[in-house]
């Protein structure tokens, strides 16, 4: 089950992807933040609600994705966590993957533009 955070008609919403459709979960949970929904309702209940709900939107019609968990306090990332990525990045083989933190403000939704600060140096 894939969950998503998105904006529709100017309102933040959460939903579940079922095939090429979105089952909106905002109305049934009264929540528009996926992190809060996972904490308060729980992933199993969200899955159940998504299975019982009717698809309300074609996935292709979602035009504004939000960060999946918009209220994360910290984001712990695992880098080089699979061989294909390690090779693609040209990194040496290690016994353990790299772990790094990201700031919540550095998240963007799927297909949303990344804002690059004007003073950021861009590499080759």
Q: What is the pLDDT of residue 124?
A: 46
| pLDDT above 60 (res 47) | yes
| pLDDT above 90 (res 19) | yes
Work out the mean pLDDT of the chain and round it to a whole number. 88
Q: What would the pLDDT profile of 97-115 be if each residue is shown by its tens digit?
A: 788 898 888 888 888 888 8
Residue appearing with tokens 């009717």: 54
| pLDDT above 90 (res 36) | yes
Q: Rounded distance, CA 88 to CA 77, Å?
A: 18
With the C-alpha atoms ordered 70, 75, 42, 59, is the resulting torsion angle positive or negative?
Answer: positive
With the C-alpha atoms ordered 54, 55, 57, 63, is the resulting torsion angle positive or negative?
Answer: positive
Q: What is the pLDDT of residue 30?
A: 96
């Amino acid at each position: 089950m894939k969950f998503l955070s998105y904006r529709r008609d100017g309102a933040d919403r959460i939903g579940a992807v079922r095939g090429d459709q979105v089952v909106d979960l905002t109305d049934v949970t009264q929540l528009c933040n996926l992190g809060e929904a996972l904490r308060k309702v729980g992933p199993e209940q969200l899955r159940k609600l998504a299975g019982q709900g009717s698809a309300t939107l074609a996935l292709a019609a979602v035009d504004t994705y939000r960060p999946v968990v918009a209220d994360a306090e910290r984001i712990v990332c695992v880098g080089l966590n699979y061989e294909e990525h390690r090779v693609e990045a040209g990194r040496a083989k290690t016994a353990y993957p790299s772990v790094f933190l990201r700031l919540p403000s550095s998240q963007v939704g799927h297909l949303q533009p990344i804002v690059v600060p004007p003073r950021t140096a861009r590499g080759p």
